[in-house]
Amino acid sequence: MKITGIICEYNPFHNGHVYQIGQCKNDKDDFCIAVMSGDWIQRGGPAIIDKYERAKMALKGGVDLVIELPTAYATGSASDFAFGGISLLDSLGCVDELCFGAESPRDDSFDKVVDFMNEFGEMLAVETAEYMREGNSYPKARELALSNHFNKHIVQGLCKPNNILALEYNLAIRKLKSNIVPKAILRKGSEYADSELNMVSYSSATAIRNSIMSGYEFMIKNDNGYRNDDMFVGASTYMAITGETLRSAMSEPLSPIKNHVPATTYEILLNALGKSYPLVYSNFSRELGYKLILEVGKGFEDYLDVTRELSDKICKNISYFKTVDQFCDLLKTKEITYARISRCMTHILLDIKKDTFPEGKRAGYARILGFRKDSEKLLKIIKDHSSIPIISKLADAPRMLDDKDLKMLGKDIQAAHMYDFVSACKYQKDLKNEFTQAMIIV
C-alpha cells in the first residue's frame, strides 16, 4: 500500500488531473490525498467554482481524501504555497510520495539547482534583490540570479510555472527534513497558461475556464434575447447561432469542454452553471473598493506580501479604483507583476496580515472537505499517525487548536464566507454557513 499526496487547486478538475492521479495509484490498495486550495487561489482572486464542488469533482475523479490548504498558504507566493502543502502532508505522518506536474523531466540539473537553492538560499536572495533594484520583477530577478550559477537554458526551463512549483516542493521537503519522496509527472497536452482549448483532450485549466466563461456569457445573452447574427464563442470555437445550433448551445453551453474534463466534472459544471458560478475577481470589486477606502488613512503595509512601496502606491491611486482587475493593471510595473498585486489585493480583502502568517510556520491543522466512502482505512491511518489535529467539524476546532492556528482557521472561514456572500448575491441563492456545511462524501 502506498499513500500519495497532491497539492492542487483543481480550478477546475480536468483530464490532466485524472492522468496524474492514475500515475499515483498503481495498485488497488493505494490512496491519494489532495491538499486543495479553498475558495481563493495562488495567483490571487477567487476560484471559478466553490471548494465543495471542486472537492466533489476530485473525489469522483479518483482522489480518496480532500483536505483544505489554509487560505494564507493558498493565496501566498509559490514558496508559501508549497511550504504549506508539504508541511501539512508531512504532519499527517503517513504520506509516502508527493506527486506533482512538471513541464520537463526531472534530471541531474534539477537536483543540482535544488541543492544550490537549499544551501545558498541567502546568497541567492541577495542577488535576486540586486536584480530587482535594477527594475526586474521578482520572477525575472530570481531567474537572472540563478543564471549566474547555472546554464541559462537550464534555468529558463526551470522557470516555467509548474517547474517553479516543483522546485519549491523539493525545497520545502528538504527544509522540513521530510521523508516524503517527490515524484514528477510530465505534463501532458497544453502548457499551463495556454488560453485556448487544444485539439486533443488535455487542455489547460486556463483554457477550460475561458471556455466556461464563454458558455456562461452565451447563456446570459440568450436569456436576454438573441439576434440571428449573434455568435457563440467557446475558446477557439466559433459557431453561428441559428436553428439547431442555437437549440444545442442552449441545452449544453459548455459543450466545447466536454472532452477536456471527466464526465462527472462536466455534469457538476453544467448543473451549477448560472446558479452558483462562475465567479471572477471583478465580482468582488465593491467589497475590495470599500475595504481600501476604509483603510487608506493608515495604509496597507500590515497585510501579507504588501511592501511599503506598494502600500503608498495603493493610497496614491485609490481615487482611480473602478474594478479589481483595472486597479491591479493600474498598479503593476516592470518590478511588480500583476499576479503579485492580485495576491496582495486578496490579502487585503480577506484581512490576512503578516501576523496571521508567521514566517516558517508549519500548517497546524488538517480540515477535511470530503472523502470517498471506500477510504475509511486511510482515515484511520491518518488518525493514528497525524501530529496535527484532523478537523471534520468546525465546532470542535476551539478545543483542538492553539490561538495561532485558531486565528488562521478563522481566516479560512472568513474567506469562505466572503466568497459565498458574493456568490449568493450574484445568483440570488441562500448563503452557506461553514459551520453547518457537511463534508462531501462520495
Long-range contact set of residues 141-150: C-beta below 8 Å, sequence gap at least 24: 146/113, 146/117, 149/116, 150/109, 150/112, 150/113, 150/116
Number of H helices, E strands in the chain: 19, 10
pTM (predicted TM-score): 0.91
**Dist. CA 129–CA 125, nearest whole Å:** 6
* Domain spans, the chain: 205-259, 281-356
Query: By the 8 A CB rule, do 86 and 35 touch?
Result: no
Q: Is 331 left (phi over 0), alpha (psi -120 to 50) or beta?
A: alpha
End-to-end CA distance of the chain, in Å? 22
41-59 in b/e form (b: 16+ CB < 10 A) is bbbbbbbbbbbbbbbbbbb
Angle at 410 between CA 409 and CA 415, to 5 degrees: 100
Per-residue pLDDT of the chain (442 residues; tens, 9 = 90+): 999 999 999 999 999 999 999 999 888 889 999 999 999 999 999 999 999 999 999 999 999 999 999 999 999 999 999 999 999 999 999 999 999 988 877 777 888 999 999 999 999 999 999 999 898 888 899 999 999 999 888 888 888 888 889 999 999 999 999 999 999 998 776 565 667 888 778 899 999 999 999 999 988 877 654 433 333 333 333 334 444 444 455 568 999 999 999 999 999 999 999 999 999 999 999 999 999 999 999 999 999 999 999 999 999 999 999 999 999 999 999 889 999 999 999 999 999 999 887 778 899 999 999 999 999 999 999 999 999 999 999 999 999 999 999 999 999 999 999 999 999 999 999 999 999 999 999 9
